[in-house]
Amino acid sequence: MLNFKLDQSLQLGGKKAIITGASQGIGAAMAKAFARAGVNLVLIARTEAKLQELVQELQLIYDRELQQNGEKEPDDYTSKLSFFAVDLTDEGAVKKIFSDIATLGGVDILINNAGKMTPKPLAFIKSEDIQSQFEINTFAVIRCCQYASRLMIRNGGGSIINISSMLGEYGQQGQSIYSASKAAVSGLTRSLAQELASYQIRVNSIAPGIINTPLISTLSNAEKEQILARIALQRLGKPEEVANTCLFLASDWSSYITGQVIDVDGGVHF
């Protein structure tokens, strides 16, 4: 088993994590943080080129950590790093991924991070806007939890981390559907925590505030200003700050925490 000095105390080395929405933003930051902790990764998003680029970056991270520990670089990274370029709203594709992951030895950590935001005032919301946001932000999360939990039961337990949103907790003008789809994730988290506890599976959510990623490019400057005015730390969050919380929830450092929605929002006040 790889023995990484950095982040070693988390004792995540050799564990296997699935990160959805890993091609950019918060998901990519998580992938790097987990690689530094020696975690074997399965990355999922639609854009193959971005995943490939990230995998190369992650190999360098592994190499660097191994060198620092005086360990030899592996000839082959396939057991440490794999990716699937798929649309998670495709139910058949999700089942296929999890069948493949089962043959690779299962999973210990699932991070449901893929998501999308399409802000619109209520009067302008079409059925397809509702469908498309719920499909990825909520329905795909439910399906991944279904498949991953079965693999975790085989392995004797695990940790599921769902990325919801501050907007799911507090709401925001023009964000009714996104907020509803994320509030559903909080409800899912609290219920699954109860249901899966007897299998030693912990389920928690992280509700990020406003984090500097491509996702927030859809927010107007006025919306950003409005949110910034409510942040105690008076700045946007960094993807790495969400990734660090995720490491904590994935590790045994949070072994007595389940069913929680943890705000990573710089102290938003309403």
Q: Which residues bind ligand NAP (CB under 6 A)?
A: 21-27, 45-47, 50, 87-89, 113-117, 136, 163, 165-166, 208, 210-211, 213-216
The strand order across the sheet containing 109-112 reads 81-85, 40-45, 16-20, 109-112, 158-163, 201-208, 261-264
Q: Does 84 bind other proteins (CB under 8 A)?
A: no
Q: How far apart are CA 260 and CA 266, in angstroms?
A: 18
Q: What DSSP designation does 267 have? A: S
Sequence-ordered strand ranges (E) for the chain: 16-20, 40-45, 81-85, 109-112, 158-163, 201-208, 261-264
Q: Does 257 bind other proteins (CB under 8 A)?
A: no
Q: Considering 62, 147, 170, 178, which one is annotated as catalytic?
A: 178
* Residues 261/169, Cβ–Cβ less than 8 Å: yes
Residue with smaller CB distance to other proteins, 145 or 250: 145
- Shortest distance, position 269 Cβ to ligand NAP, whole Å: 17
C-alpha distance from residue 218 to each of 24, 208, 266 (Å):
15, 16, 21
Q: Which stretch binds other proteins (CB under 8 A): 26-34, 73-81, 149-157, 229-237?
A: 149-157
User: Active-site residue 77, yes or no?
Assistant: no
**Contact partner, 268, from other proteins, ligand NAP, none, Cβ < 5-8 Å per class:** none
Choose, by CB under 8 A, the member of 11, 146, 173, 220 that binds other proteins. Answer: 146
**Contact partner, 95, from ligand NAP, other proteins, none, Cβ < 5-8 Å per class:** other proteins
- Shortest distance, position 260 Cβ to ligand NAP, whole Å: 16
SS3 16: strand
Choose, by CB under 8 A, the member of 116, 150, 190, 238 that binds other proteins. Answer: 150
Residue 48 half-sphere exposure, CB side, CA atoms within 13 Å?
Answer: 3
Choose, by CB under 8 A, the member of 112, 138, 149, 204 that binds other proteins. Answer: 149
Q: Which stretch binds other proteins (CB under 8 A): 72-80, 96-104, 110-118, 184-192?
A: 96-104
Q: How far apart are the first and last CA of the chain?
A: 47
Choose, by CB under 8 A, the member of 83, 147, 170, 178 that binds other proteins. Answer: 147
- Shortest distance, position 102 Cβ to ligand NAP, whole Å: 20
Q: What DSSP designation does 14 have? A: T
Q: How far apart are CA 142 and CA 163, in angstroms?
A: 12
* Residues 148/110, Cβ–Cβ less than 8 Å: yes
- Shortest distance, position 149 Cβ to other proteins, whole Å: 8
Give me the active site residues, please. Answer: 178
Binding site for other proteins (CB under 8 A): 95, 98-99, 102-103, 146-147, 149-151, 153-154, 198-199
